[in-house]
Amino acid sequence: MSNIASRANIIRRAPAAAVLIGTAVACGIVIAWFPDAIWDKPIQGIDAPAHYYFTREIMNDGLSVATSLLPNGGFYPPLFHTLAAFVATVGGALGIPMFTGSAAVVAAVNCVWILGGGILWPLGMALFCGYFFRNASIATRSVLYFGIPILAVSSGANPFQMLYAGPLIAYAFASNLLPYLLLATLYFLDAFSTVLELKIGKTADKTKGAAKRQNPEMHVAVRQLLIALGFTAAAFLLVMAAQPKLVFTYIVIMLPYAVFRLPWKLVAAMFGLLVLGAIAFFIFAVNIYPSAKYFHPETWFHTHRPSMDLKTSLTYAFTDGMVSGDINQGLTSFNIPTVAGWAMLVLLVVSIAMALVHVNKQSLAVLLSFALVLFVFECSATFTGAIPNIVTAVWYRNEVRTLTMLPFVILPVIALAGARLDAWLRDMAARPSIDQSVNVNQTSLRMVARIAAGLCAALMVMVMIGAQTVNPVKTAMRDSVNNAASLDKADPTEQLTHAKLDILTRMVKQTGTNAVIISDPMNGSMYATALFNANMLFPVYNPQNTGKGVIFSQVEQAFGSGNGEELLNTACGINPQQPTYFLSMGPQAPSLQFSFAAQYDPFHDAQRIEQYVADGTMTKVQDYSSYGDYAKDWALYQLQCPAR
């Protein structure tokens, strides 16, 4: 008997073991993909220095600055950077080599990214999708719990897209946490519906016996509701601490589930709140950012051009990004499904068909959620005009963020289909035979059910194996990040090169980490903060001149004025106890694009710089012209600040 009980116990634990094994495999896939060039060098992308800077800020000043990470003192969601600062600090204290050198912050950011993309994301999607097959057999749950985490990292959409584009590191981390919020919300909606049903039943049946029966049930239901509410609130706060902008993705995905679970009065109230929120945001935007275009949405994003045609975007969506194409035309031109892509396309179509059999509220919610996300993605990638502009405005009118939403709705469709197939097989097995003709019919149905289940299982295996074997999108993303991080650049004015890294190293030896250093961040100088904790006045490409950031525009104007006294009074007052420097390190890197890059033009005026040297406003303390003809004007200058 003990052997039987032990075997039964092992079988019961199979789904839990499957999800852990599946997550471990998924984590291995993410680590194997991770670009090796960025372990000791920073990611070279326009948003990357900001994330290193935010991490440095928390390491230097502690959690007191967590709500004011932006250079102008503004708010930026701190969760990712707090974790990265913790990893770097603890790793450095333990003497772990990767956290003791200049790339400590870079390594810490990578570790937290892998935590999010390699563990939190696949595990979260497994748990979220597990909601839809929670009543399936142990065998089906085990198969899906193993497969879903691997499917979650088979596409280039998430988490890989977020490291490749931007990189949008905080947005990616919030996306990796979003499945937990979605799952908690589903259980909250279930608990809320149960309480409403019991309340309605109590109102309908007011007999004394019924009241006694329902009181314990109501207490249990209310307790479950409060627990679900607590988990939902905690998950919501975590996602908001990672990136509040994910609330829009959350609403789009979860809206159909709320509509099909809540009473119509609550649904109407919910839509009313959404409308009021939109109106409030509109009023805020009109007053803070005045423009004549608000009532003409067709003129919004006038520089936007669709990145995909309809065929390409639909192919990308239904294959979950498992496509190939000509890399010279860019990733958004890929529209030929790989073997794994064809398998995913067929699996998704079969899953949609399964969801449409015996349609109920849950299947409608799953399919409508998929349709809404697909619509948002198509609006961002393909369609133009007023409606697409309005729909995708909160995602910055491009596909970079919206394509990462696809796995959130594709995998639940597959999970629901798995549950439907499992129920079909169990129903066929349990149905009694009445006569021979019925028995023949049932045998045929059992055969069809088994074939369908076998087909779906085979397609899942093809996707899981094929996506790791041939995946042009993920490969191109990794190669792009690796190539960008390389210091071997054909153009010596690019963001970081061997020469620029050496210059920044020499500069910090001269200035230390407290002296203020003025330079155009888009020439690559902003990486000095990431690597050496240098006190760059412009540590990011767009420090914003609002709030405390007014000093940024003041320094730009003072530098361009030609008035040495004005420059010294403005720049030297930033940190009077320390020297102030100016770094000239060439033009803005061609790979960095910023609409307001012209604000840094005063720092490239060679005649103005010569004037300040001639009149004694600045003194050259390091000359970098020996690096090549391209560096003839590169130098570090110290401002001759008056004694204070």
pLDDT in tens, 85-135: 999 999 999 999 999 989 999 999 999 999 999 999 999 999 999 999 999
Mean of pLDDT values over 297-314: 89
pLDDT for res 1: 52
Nearest Cα residue to 540 out of 548, 550, 552 = 552
Q: What is the pLDDT of residue 361?
A: 93
Q: What's the predicted TM-score (pTM) here?
A: 0.93
370 in any annotated domain: no
Predicted confidence at residue 278, as pLDDT, reads 83
The neighbour count for residue 123, using CB atoms within 10 Å, is: 23
How far is Cα 182 from Cα 114, in angstroms, rounded to an integer? 21
- Locate 233 and state its tokens: 């609130």
**pLDDT of 580 higher than 80:** yes
Question: In 10 A of CB 524, how many CB atoms?
Answer: 25
- Residue 137 falls inside a structural domain: no
d(CA 498, CA 506): 12
Nearest to 154 by CA among 570, 460, 603: 460
Give me the long-range contacts of 342-348 (CB less than 8 A, separation at least 24). Answer: 343/459, 343/462, 343/463, 343/466, 344/154, 344/318, 344/319, 344/320, 344/459, 344/463, 345/318, 345/319, 346/459, 347/414, 347/456, 347/459, 347/460, 347/463, 348/318, 348/320, 348/410, 348/413, 348/414
Contact 25, 150 (CB under 8 A): yes
- The answer, yes or no, to whether residue 563 has pLDDT greater than 80, is yes
- Residue 24: partners with Cβ closer than 8 Å, 6 or more residues away: none
Nearest partner of 132 among 420, 427, 406, 357, judged by Cα: 420
Sheet holding 618-623, edge to edge: 535-536, 516-518, 580-584, 635-639, 618-623
In the three-class reduction of DSSP (H, G, I as helix; E, B as strand; rest coil), residue 621 is classed as strand
Contact between residue 530 and residue 44 where contact means Cβ atoms under 8 Å apart: no
Tokens read off for 118: 């390699």
Interaxial angle between packed helices 406-430 and 169-204, expressed in degrees from 0 to 180 and rounded to the nearest 10 = 50
3-state secondary structure of 1: coil
Per-residue pLDDT for 265 more than 90? no
Torsion sign (Cα): 420, 188, 407, 377? positive
% of the chain beyond a pLDDT of 90: 76
Give the pLDDT of residue 211: 52
Residues 108 and 91: beta-carbon distance below 8 Å: yes
Q: H or E element: which one contains 56?
A: helix 48-61
DSSP codes of every residue in 312-341: HHHHHHHTTT-EE--GGG-GGG--EE-HHH
Cα 298 from Cα 322, distance rounded (Å): 33
Residue type, 12: R
626: left (phi over 0), alpha (psi -120 to 50) or beta: alpha
Contact between residue 548 and residue 508 where contact means Cβ atoms under 8 Å apart: no
Residue 199 lies in a domain: no
Residue 23 falls inside a structural domain: no
Phi, then psi, of 636 in degrees rounded to 5 = -110, 130
Q: Which amino acid is at 182?
A: L
Residue 518 is assigned to a structural domain of this protein: yes
- On the question of pLDDT at 208 being above 60, the answer is no
Based on its alpha-carbon atoms, the radius of gyration of the chain, rounded to whole angstroms, reads 29
- Give the pLDDT confidence of 49-75 residue by residue, as tens digits: 999 999 999 999 999 999 999 999 999
Least confident of 139-148, 205-214, 388-397: 205-214
Instruction: Please report which confidence band the pLDDT of residue 202 belongs to, taking 50, 70 and 90 as the band edges.
Output: low
Residue 540 structural domain: 498-639
Q: Quick one: pLDDT at residue 378?
A: 96
Mean pLDDT of all residues in 541-570 = 94
φ and ψ at residue 620, rounded to 5 degrees: -70, 125
Rounded distance between C-alpha atoms, residue 251 and residue 177, angstroms: 15
- Residue 633 burial (CB < 10 Å; 0-12/13-18/19+)? middle
- The pLDDT value recorded for residue 557 is 96
pLDDT tier at 444 (50, 70, 90 boundaries)? confident
Supply the pLDDT for residue 302.
78
Whole-number mean pLDDT of the chain? 92
Q: What is the largest CA-CA distance in the chain?
A: 108
Average pLDDT over every residue of 583-590: 96
Distance CA 482, CA 498 (A): 15
Per-residue pLDDT, 295: 83
* Strand, helix or coil for residue 186: helix
Look at residue 205 and tell me whether its pLDDT is greater than 70: no
Tokens of 370: 């998929």
pLDDT band at 2 (very low <50, low <70, confident <90, very high): low
How confident is the model over 601-632, as pLDDT tens digits? 999 999 999 999 999 999 999 999 999 999 99
pLDDT of the residue at 206:
58
Collapsing DSSP to helix, strand or coil, 195 comes out as helix
Q: 562: alpha, beta or left, given left = phi > 0 and alpha = psi -120 to 50?
A: left
| Mean of pLDDT values over 302-310 | 88
Look up residue 325 and give its amino acid.
G
Task: State the pLDDT at residue 213.
Answer: 57
On the question of pLDDT at 434 being above 70, the answer is no
Residue 432 has a pLDDT of 61
* Rounded average pLDDT over 15-41: 97
Residue 467 lies in a domain: no
**Closest-CA residue to 469 (of 165, 22, 19, 32):** 32
Residue among 39, 309, 316 at smallest CA distance from 161: 316
- Residue at 223 is within a domain: no
Mean of pLDDT values over 220-240: 96
Q: How many domains does the chain have?
A: 1
Check residue 277 and give its pLDDT. 84
Q: What is the pLDDT of residue 433?
A: 53
Question: Measured between alpha carbons, how far is 65 from 76 in angstroms, rounded to an integer?
Answer: 10
What would the pLDDT profile of 509-529 be if each residue is shown by its tens digit? 999 999 999 999 999 999 999
Tell me if 628 is assigned to some domain.
yes
* 177 CB neighbour count, 10 Å cutoff: 24
Q: Does residue 334 have a pLDDT over 90?
A: yes
Select, from the ranges 154-158, 203-207, 601-605, the one with the highest average predicted confidence (pLDDT).
601-605
